[in-house]
Amino acid sequence: MSAPVESAPVERPGEQPAGHPEREAVFEAPFDMETLTRPDLLTTSLGIVVEDWNPRRLVGSLPLDRNRQYYGFLHGGASAALVETLGSLAAVLEAGTGGMVLGQELSVTHHRAARGSGSVTGICTPLFVGTSVATYEVVVRDKRERRIATGRITCQLRRRGVRGPEPEKKV
């Protein structure tokens, strides 16, 4: 795991600004590498590897080999799968152990073709994290640091133990 990286503040309704230690959450991955590398998963078939588990900056890579389209470029669906994987995992970290994440929207803009050998890298950062919804941006770059694609994913968060106030009981 890499050292924490400074990033822009995330908008959180009703929360104090970053830098207030009493308000900062401690994140714990509710899964392990064995879970993420099961042979029946799309991420395993595509060769996606998560390299940095910082919940404010998730990083993963996708090999170009086995993920090309007819003309030899990186397949757009593979880029979208990388975006979805990183954004969903970031949301899972946010929802916490026992929580659940449901994908709501995914969009990917493809800027240029990725060619050659090696892999592309996706960097996922939160745009908005609320009580029940989170939106992430994933920038996909090639080995020369050129932007290949930009993705945005929104997920519903179902946090364990987070409920509204109980209605008053009438006696």
Tell whether the model's pLDDT for residue 168 goes beyond 80: no
Cα angle 42, 92, 2 (rounded to 5 degrees) comes to 90
Selected residue with higher pLDDT from 38 and 156: 156
Active site (catalytic) residues: 84
Q: Which of 13-17, 51-55, 134-138, 153-157 has the lowest mean pLDDT?
A: 13-17
Tell whether the model's pLDDT for residue 10 goes beyond 60: no
Class assignment of domain 33-158?
alpha beta
Structure tokens at 86: 């990183």
Tell whether the model's pLDDT for residue 13 goes beyond 50: no
Q: Which of 21-35, 74-88, 116-130 has the lowest mean pLDDT?
A: 21-35
SS (H, E, C) the chain: CCCCCCCCCCECCCCCCCCCHHHCCCCCCCCCHHHHCCCCCHHHHHCCEEEEEECCEEEEEEECCCCECCCCCECHHHHHHHHHHHHHHHHHHHHCCCCEEEEEEEEEEECCCCCCCCEEEEEEEEEEECCCEEEEEEEEECCCCCEEEEEEEEEEEECCCCCCCCCCCCC
- Whose tokens are 């770059």? That residue is 141
pLDDT by residue (tens digit) across 132-146?
999 999 999 999 999
pLDDT by residue (tens digit) across 46-91?
999 999 888 799 999 999 999 999 999 999 999 999 999 999 999 9
Q: pTM value? A: 0.77
Tell whether the model's pLDDT for residue 11 goes beyond 60: no
26-50 mean pLDDT: 78
Domain boundaries, the chain: 33-158
d(CA 35, CA 37): 6
Selected residue with higher pLDDT from 117 and 5: 117
- The pLDDT > 90 percentage for the chain reads 64
